[in-house]
Structure 1
Amino acid sequence: MTEIRTPRLVLRRWLDDDLVPLSEIHADAAVTQGIGDGRPCSADQTAELIEAWEEEWDEEGFGVFAVELLGSGELAGAVGLSVADAPAEVAGEVAIGWRLGRVFWGQGYASEAAQATLEFALQDRGLDRVVAVCRTGDRASRNVIDKLGMQAEGTAQHPVHGQEVAVFGIDLTQYTA
């Protein structure tokens, strides 16, 4: 089982007990405003997401981690890697993304987990490049992206949702652990 420990977090595969807390996180419109169509997800949709993330682990050797607080064992959210399907500018590339419950915002958890995930991607899994996409104006996600050392590569329109997104990337030659 793939597991990464940081000073404050455990990044691990998904457990059955994670469905309820992640569903609660996904029910918060403030959390989901920058994800997909921006609407909160139901428990059934969350279960489908976890299943898809686990399938990607099995097929690709990477995926989205459950993010657990090391001290309390509480589920804080999800951070990980997936093969992007949109926008076209990054389709087929490996993208990093995150979503944390609102009570965990502003404490550096997203940056800590994303940094560990990027290191996992480039050093452990041997990927040559990782991209990130965030809605234009999403300052919190942009702060995490900047801390990862990712470079701006332009903007695009999301083909399904129509929002303008900013595209970022980093390759192995640019990465410093």
Structure 2
Amino acid sequence: MTEIHTPRLLLRRWLDDDLVPLSEIQADPSVMQWIGDGSPRSLEQSAEDIEAWEEEWDEEGFGIFAVELLGSGELIGAVGLYAAEVPAEIAGQVAIRWRLGRAFWGQGYASEAAHAALEFALQDRGIDQVVAVCRTGDTASTNVLEKLGMQSEGTVEHPVHGHDLQVYGIDLTEYQE
């Protein structure tokens, strides 16, 4: 089982016990406002997410990690890598994403977990370039991307939802730990 320890977090594969806490995180409209069409996700949709994330691990050798606090073991969200399909400008590339429960915002957890995921991409999987997209106006995610050293590569329109997305990228061979 793939696990990454950071000073405060454990990034690991998904367990059956993670469904309810993830569904509570994804049911929060504030958490989901910048993701997809901005709608909260149901318990069933969260189960589908975990299943898809685990399938990607099996197929690609990377995926979205469950993120838990080391001290308490509490699930605080998800972070990791995925094979991008949309928008077309990044299709086929490895991308990074995250979502954390609102109670865990503003404490550096997203940056800490995303940093660990980038190191995993470079050191464990030999991936030399990672991209990301975030909705225009999502300043919290933009701040995390900039802390990671990712550079803006322009704006594109989401092909399904129609909103503007900022595209970011980083060459991990130049990544500064």
- Map 1:92-107; keep pairs closer than 5 Å: 92-107=92-107
How big is each residue's C-alpha offset from its partner over 1:22-51, in whole Å with a ceiling of 9 and x where there is no partner? 000000000001111110000000000000
Distance 1:173 1:2 in 2: 22
Provide structure 2 residue ranges, at least 5 long, that are not aligned to the other structure. none
TM-score by length of 1: 0.99
Secondary structure of the corresponding residue to residue 170 of structure 1: strand
Distance 1:130 1:173 in 2: 11
Distance 1:32 1:116 in 2: 23
Alignment partner, residue 131 of structure 1: 131
Secondary structure of the corresponding residue to residue 85 of structure 1: coil
| 2:35 maps to amino acid | I
Alignment partner, residue 162 of structure 1: 162
Distance 2:9 2:30 in 1: 23
How many pairs does the alignment contain?
177
Q: 1:171 offset after TM fit, Å? A: 1.0
Q: 1:176 offset after TM fit, Å? A: 1.3
| 1:157 maps to amino acid | E
Distance 2:64 2:113 in 1: 11
Alignment partner, residue 23 of structure 2: 23
Secondary structure of the corresponding residue to residue 117 of structure 2: helix
Secondary structure of the corresponding residue to residue 37 of structure 1: coil
Secondary structure of the corresponding residue to residue 173 of structure 1: helix
Q: 1:122 offset after TM fit, Å? A: 1.3
Alignment partner, residue 76 of structure 1: 76
Alignment partner, residue 47 of structure 2: 47
How big is each residue's C-alpha offset from its partner over 1:89-123, in whole Å with a ceiling of 9 and x where there is no partner? 10111110000000000000000000000010012
Q: 1:142 offset after TM fit, Å? A: 0.4
| 2:91 maps to amino acid | A
Distance 2:56 2:162 in 1: 26
Alignment partner, residue 118 of structure 2: 118
Secondary structure of the corresponding residue to residue 48 of structure 2: helix
Runs ≥4 in structure 1, deviation > 2 angstroms? none
Q: 1:124 offset after TM fit, Å? A: 1.1
Alignment partner, residue 3 of structure 1: 3
Does residue 67 of structure 1 match 2:67?
A: yes
Alignment partner, residue 85 of structure 1: 85
Provide structure 1 residue ranges, at least 5 long, that are not aligned to the other structure. none
Q: 1:174 offset after TM fit, Å? A: 2.5
TM-score by length of 2: 0.99
Give % identity. 76
